[in-house]
Amino acid sequence: MILLGIMPLLGFSQEIDLLLLNQKYEQAIELINQKVQTKPSAELYFKRSMAYRQLVNYPAAIENLNAALSVDPTNITYLTNRADLYQSIGSSQKAVADFRRALSLKPNDLLLQYELGKAYLWVNNYSKAYKEFEKLQAADSTNLMFNKYSALAAFKAGKYKTAMAWYEKYLLQNPNDLSAYMNLSTSYEKSRRLDKCLETLRIAHNRFPDNRAAHLTYANTAFVGKNYELAQKIYDTFLLKYDTTFPTLLNQGICMYHNKHTEVALEVLELCYSGNPNDVYVNFYLGVCHKRLKHQELAARYLDFAIHISIPEFHPEMYHHLAQVYGALREFEKSIAAYKKAYELDSRKVEVLFEIATTYEEYNFNKTLALNYYQNYLKEAGERAENANYALDRIKLLKEDLFFEE
């Protein structure tokens, strides 16, 4: 009698499983609907949720999992399936709660810990994600996916030293993950290891030569690190493959200036100017290019406008260049005024005092003022004085000249 009572139930369950296996989800739902009216069970609710999930009807799938859990609240399979569905519809906090509940029921399950760590990542709780993956690493540091997300959690949590170690290990296992290279390079950059940062980006670019983002990041990182020769080479190849954008073209022009390709830099910067005549960097570098090429009037015009439109932190360097341009134009009063402004805005630029002294002396403005500026230069610069010997010689000669003039 007992066996006869069980057989129909087994046959019914197998029939549902067969319908699900053959992807006949609507038929499976109809069959379950008939049975659940007379004999509801957690298993039936769960299987109906599976069918709804395959039909991408996630609200109905969740509703059935809720029903299953109301009957069997400690079933880990039900909890994790509901957590996955919550994740899919963006209810990530609810997913975290379900994964936490599942892990509390089976605390030594590494897969549950892995899923909880990922869930914390999705809700931007990086410190908790990092703690979960730190425990996971202690238990198993060889699993590729554990390593991938452990490194990501460390990176997101700002644990850059750990992120570097975990990404390096992960990339040995899977050298074809571009995002891992990018995050590893950023970790090196944050840790001020610019050589390793560039090396990582070089590897990424070589491995993914047709990836625009990897190519441009490699160029921009070299540029920010003032490795202008390398940056120019990368920008040159980048601009041969991809559309020209203003920031990229400007950076290429700046690299050319620093690499002493001044005339070519001027052509590139003039192209930038035609598209954005009010950009401070365009005007500044046009100014210093013209200054280097001895086009002093043009240099003064661009530098003066760059000062006018720039933010204050750039002013000292711009006034310094403008002072040198005015000196070359033999507009000595303007030159002295610009030098003084540069020093007023940034008293760390002590070499400006030396240039003021030489300007006063060279153009016979005032030997007394020249003497005072040489002396002030040595006092303020101290051991940093790059032209100390020359200044001492000039002080001696100026004192002699002033003595005989008396």
Average pLDDT over residues 305-330: 77
Q: What is the pLDDT, as a whole number, of residue 375?
A: 82
Q: Running DSSP on this structure, what letter comes out for residue 245? A: -
> Minimum mean pLDDT among 167-176, 213-222, 312-321: which range?
312-321
Q: Where are the beta strands (DSSP E) in 308-375?
A: none
Q: Which of 379, 377, 360, 359 is nearest to 369 (CA)?
A: 360
Q: Does the pLDDT at position 398 exceed 60?
A: yes
Q: Running DSSP on this structure, what letter comes out for residue 314? A: G
> Minimum mean pLDDT among 5-9, 286-290, 385-389: which range?
5-9
* Residue 45 to residue 51: CA distance in whole angstroms: 10
* Residue 185 to residue 374: CA distance in whole angstroms: 47
Q: Does the pLDDT at position 3 exceed 50?
A: no
Displacement of CA 248 from its chain's centroid (Å): 17
Q: What is the pLDDT, as a whole number, of residue 365?
A: 62
- Domain map of the chain by residue range? 350-406
Q: Which of 75, 50, 70 is nearest to 60 (CA)?
A: 50
What pTM was estimated for this model as a whole? Answer: 0.76
Band the pLDDT of 323: cuts 50, 70, 90. Answer: confident
Band the pLDDT of 5: cuts 50, 70, 90. Answer: very low
Percent of the chain with pLDDT over 90: 64
* Residue 195 to residue 404: CA distance in whole angstroms: 58
* Residue 168 to residue 193: CA distance in whole angstroms: 14
Average pLDDT over residues 159-180: 97
Task: For 11-55, write each residue's pLDDT tens digit.
Answer: 778 888 899 999 998 999 999 998 888 889 999 999 999 999 999
CB atoms inside a 10 Å sphere around CB 406:
5
